[in-house]
Copies of this chain bind each other. A is one copy, B any other.
Amino acid sequence: MASKKVSKITISDVARVAGVSVTTVSRVLNGERYVREDKKQAVLDASAKLDYQPNVYARSLAGDRSYLLGLLFDEAPGGEYLSGMQRGAMRRCKEAGLHLVVEHFDRTTVLDEIESFLSKLKLSGAILTPPACDNKVLLAALERKKVPTARISPSGSYPGMPSVKINDFEAAQQMTEHLISLGHKKIGFIAGDPEHADSRERLKAFRDTMAAAKLTVPEEWIQTGGYLFEGGLDAAMAILGQRQRPTAIFASNDDMAAAVIVIADRLKINVPEDLSVVGFDDIPMASVLSPALTTMRQPVEEMAKVAAGLLIDMQKGKKIATDEPVVLNVEFILRSSTAAAPES
Task: Report if A2 contacts B (CB, 8 A).
Answer: no
Known A229-B288, A288-B258; judge A102-B121 contact (CB<8 A).
no
Q: Are B290 and A56 in contact (CB under 8 A)?
A: no
A203 to B91, CA, bound (A): 37
Nearest chain-B residue to A100 (Cβ)? B102
Cross-chain contact of A102 among B60, B80, B86, B289 (Cβ < 8 A): B86
Residue with the highest number of chain B CB atoms closer than 10 Å, among A57, A84, A87: A57
In the docked arrangement, what's the CA distance between A265 and B55, Å? 58
A58 to B64, CA, bound (A): 12
CB of A82 within 8 A of chain B?
yes
Residue in contact with A79 in the complex, picked from B53, B80, B120, CB distance below 8 Å: B80
A101 touches B101 (CB 8 A): yes
Q: Which residues of B contact A84 (CB under 8 A)?
A: 79
Q: Is A61 an interface residue (CB 8 A)?
A: yes
What residues of B have a CB within 8 angstroms of the CB of A259 in the complex?
288
Against B, the Cβ 8 Å flags (1 = close, 0 = not) of A87-101 are 100110000000111
Minimum Cβ distance to chain B for residue A125 (Å): 14
Interface: A116 (CB within 8 A):
yes
CA distance A288 to B257 in the complex (A): 11
The CA-CA distance from A101 to B84 in the complex, in Å, is 16
Return chain B residues, CB-CB under 8 Å to A121.
Answer: 56, 99
Chain A, residues 241-273, CB within 8 Å of chain B (1/0): the string is: 000000000000000001101100100000000
Given contacts A68-B101, A80-B79, A56 and B120 within 8 Å (CB-CB): yes
Q: Which residues of B contact A116 (CB under 8 A)?
A: 51, 53
A273-312 at interface with B (beta carbon < 8 Å): 284-285, 288-290
Q: Contact between A53 and B119 (Cβ–Cβ < 8 Å)? A: yes
Whether A76 is near chain B, meaning CB under 8 Å from some CB there, is yes
Task: Say yes or no for A54: interface residue by CB 8 A criterion.
Answer: yes
The 16 listed contacts between A and B (C-beta, < 8 Å) are A8-B119, A51-B116, A55-B61, A57-B60, A57-B66, A57-B122, A79-B82, A79-B83, A80-B80, A87-B104, A90-B103, A90-B104, A101-B101, A258-B288, A285-B285, A288-B289
List the 8 closest pairs (A to B, CB-CB), nearest first: A79-B80, A79-B83, A57-B60, A57-B61, A79-B79, A57-B57, A101-B101, A285-B285
| Known contacts A55-B120, A99-B101, A259-B288; 6 further A-B pairs (Cβ under 8 A) | A53-B119, A56-B57, A56-B120, A57-B57, A76-B87, A80-B80
